[in-house]
Amino acid sequence: MSGPTFHGDGVMDSKPIDVGRQSYEDARDMVALGHTEELTRKFSPWSMFALCFSILGTWGTFAQDLSSGLTNGGAITILWGLVLVFICNLCVALSLGELCSAMPTALGQAFWMHSLWHTPTGRFASYICAWVNVFGWWTLNASLVAFATNFLLGIKLMYDPEWAGAGTGWVEFLVYFGIASLFTGFNLVACRNDKILPWFNNIVGIQFGALFIIFSLVLLICVGTKQGLEFQPPSFTFGAWINETGWPSGVVWFTGLVQAAYGLTAFDSVCILPPNTQTPTNVSPSRSST
């Protein structure tokens, strides 16, 4: 980035003096970033919500993960487990929201830990939290690539159930690699114009909502009108208990919650994005007022 201010003098500078200089330069970097990051400042409340809603991707995740719910308890865990998970996850969301509102600063969760627990142990815990969070987002990213891979190959399999290609590792890897490259490549070029990313998020959010309506209506209309298809009775939809796991029922009630939990995590995207959307001056008010 900014040439002259960027750590010109060697990588591993010796300690005491350079710490100060480095901090100064880092701070300047942050200021510079405050300007370069103007892209994300174009996020309106609506596009922030669209981003968070589509990253959560609740109904889509439930759809992708249907087998887990169906074998681990069936309708009872899918629906009533979801109610329980929703209440608990809402508490988590509110707690994070409170922290985010008090400290809308870089690094989200890890930074909050550091600010709250200002001791050497706290710094270590914050570091571990940062790694766990980063690993979480990397693996979430990888799992979305894998989901898309499975679905693309699944579409092919629908037409050609005998096709052996879907099971071969290198075909899967090639598709996976293509999708991962698409994600990275799009992001590399998308910020050139400040409007692209928020608009893209708006479109994905709207599309995700529209698909929810389309899927629901198409399913209901098809089953309602087609010959030979019947709706399940409400006793199945709201009360069926299916356990194909071998665990006792008490355990299955809990393992069945996993599906609901999958669909309702990753709402910290907003906590992570604001740091980039705000100039570093936002650090000051909370500290200077103490």
Site string for another protein, 261-290 (x = CB under 8 A): xxxxxxxxxxxxxxxxxxxxxxxxxxxxxx
Q: Which of 98, 165, 241, 249 binds another protein (CB under 8 A)?
A: 98
Tell me if residue 45 falls in helix, strand or coil. Answer: helix
If you write DSSP's letter for every residue of 107-120 in order, what string do you get?
THHHHHHHHH--SH
Q: Which of residues 58-87 bind another protein (CB under 8 A)?
A: 58-60, 62-64, 66-67, 69-71, 74-75, 78-79, 82-83, 85-87
Least distance CB 4 / another protein (angstroms):
13
Cβ–Cβ under 8 Å, residues 117 and 126: yes
**Site for another protein contains 200 (CB under 8 A):** yes
**Site for another protein contains 249 (CB under 8 A):** no
Q: Of 85, 71, 34, which is closest to residue 264 (Cα–Cα)?
A: 85
Q: Which of 235, 241, 244, 250 binds another protein (CB under 8 A)?
A: 244
Count the site residues for another protein by CB under 8 A: 210
| CA terminus-to-terminus distance, the chain | 34
Distance (Å, whole) CA 130 – CA 137: 11
Least distance CB 210 / another protein (angstroms):
9
**279 secondary structure, DSSP code:** -
User: Is the four-CA dihedral 86, 89, 95, 101 of positive or negative sign?
Assistant: negative
Residues in the chain: 290
Q: Which of residues 144-183 bind another protein (CB under 8 A)?
A: 144-148, 150-152, 154-155, 157-159, 161, 169-170, 172-173, 176-177, 179-183
**Site for another protein contains 104 (CB under 8 A):** yes
**Site for another protein contains 236 (CB under 8 A):** yes
**Site for another protein contains 134 (CB under 8 A):** yes
**Site for another protein contains 184 (CB under 8 A):** yes
- H helices then E strands: how many in the chain? 16, 0
Q: Which of residues 107-126 bind another protein (CB under 8 A)?
A: 107-117, 122-126
Cβ–Cβ under 8 Å, residues 145 and 179: yes
Least distance CB 5 / another protein (angstroms):
12
**Site for another protein contains 195 (CB under 8 A):** no
Distance (Å, whole) CA 281 – CA 157: 54
Distance (Å, whole) CA 275 – CA 54: 20
**Site for another protein contains 18 (CB under 8 A):** no
Q: Which of 14, 16, 195, 229 binds another protein (CB under 8 A)?
A: 229
